[in-house]
Amino acid sequence: MLTKRIIACLDVDAGRVVKGVQFASLRDAGDPAELAKAHAASGADEIVLLDISAAHQRRATLLDTVRRTAAELFIPFTVGGGIRTLEEAAAVFSAGADKISVNSAALADPALITQIAERFGSQAVVVAIDAKRSSSKGSWEAFTQGGRTPARRDAVDWAREAESRGAGEILLTSMDRDGTGAGFDCELTHTVSDSVRIPVIASGGAGGAQHFVDVFRDGHADAALAASIFHYGFSQISELKQELAAQQVPMRWPC
């Protein structure tokens, strides 16, 4: 049976993980390579590395960070944050990423999705959508520039277009829930998930095991991503997966 994926996200600034997870075994809790390896050992199904560095710092550190992180990782590895061109994507792939995630650049130039998909395959292209609830009921707007700028695009409509242009997965972040720990936005997630045929990764709002159960059952998510939840309640992904497996959510457990 196809399992629901638990994805650990590393937010990286200038080569260091911010909001890092505390693993007692690590020498350096800010090192992306060490953290990724620890998450994989603990049962993460996938690792996403999101570079949140300022643009001028990004080029210098990102490829080196990707190379070091990929070196000992044997689960799927997605890299996102500031990838604007096919050439930049190609460099990130050759450093060891399996998939790249594009957000603002794809909204600015949707043909970028097709260009990357044609060269590296759709399975390698994740389109990240930052969605915020709009004033009209049951609709969400996509935002760019790390959630700072409204894209004037309906999020569901944009997800459909991304699929038709060759995206292999949608990484859907609820801006309303992100950082709150109040649970994923199941309404947003199932609205998008039911509108496309490609897998949808839910993100934003994870605060406990029940939130994951809810987003898989009610949100129709194929995968769920979290970063800071592992600060609160769960020191290890293995604990979360055991609890979800006990609630009959199909999990890769034991790994």
Binding site for another protein (CB under 8 A): 1-5, 40, 45, 70-72, 74-76, 93-96, 98, 120-124, 168-169, 197-199, 222-223, 252, 255
Q: Is 11 a catalytic residue?
A: yes
Residue of 31, 45, 51, 130 with catalytic role: 130
28 is an active site residue: no
Minimum distance of another protein from residue 96's CB (angstroms): 5
From the candidates 11, 13, 31, 178, give the one annotated as an active-site residue.
11
Beta-bridged to residue 144, according to DSSP, are 149
Q: How far is CA 68 from CA 62, 95, 130, 189, 211, in A?
A: 10, 9, 28, 33, 32
Beta strands, E only, 14-124: 16-18, 46-51, 77-80, 99-102
- Asked if 249 and 216 count as a contact pair (C-beta separation under 8 A), the reply is yes
The least CB distance from residue 111 to another protein, in Å, is: 18
Closer to another protein by CB, 214 or 222: give it.
Answer: 222
The DSSP code for 56 is: H
Task: Name the minimum Å distance from CB 74 to another protein.
Answer: 5
Q: Is the dihedral of CA 25, 29, 34, 35 positive or negative?
A: positive
Contact between 5 and 45 under an 8 Å Cβ cutoff? The reply is yes
Looking at the Cβ atoms of 74 and 137, the one nearer to another protein is 74
Closer residue to another protein, CB minimum distance, 147 or 199: 199
Q: Which residues pair with 223 in a beta bridge?
A: 5, 201
Question: Which positions ≥6 away from 80 have C-beta within 8 Å?
Answer: 48, 49, 50, 51, 100, 101, 102, 103, 126, 128, 171
Q: Which is nearer to another protein, 162 or 175 (CB)?
A: 162
For the bound state, the minimum distance from the C-beta of residue 244 to another protein, rounded and expressed in Å, comes to: 13
Least distance from C-beta 236 to another protein, angstroms? Answer: 16
Nearer to another protein, 2 or 24 (CB): 2
**Peptide bond before 254: cis, by omega within 30 degrees of 0?**
yes
By annotation, the residues acting in catalysis are 11, 130
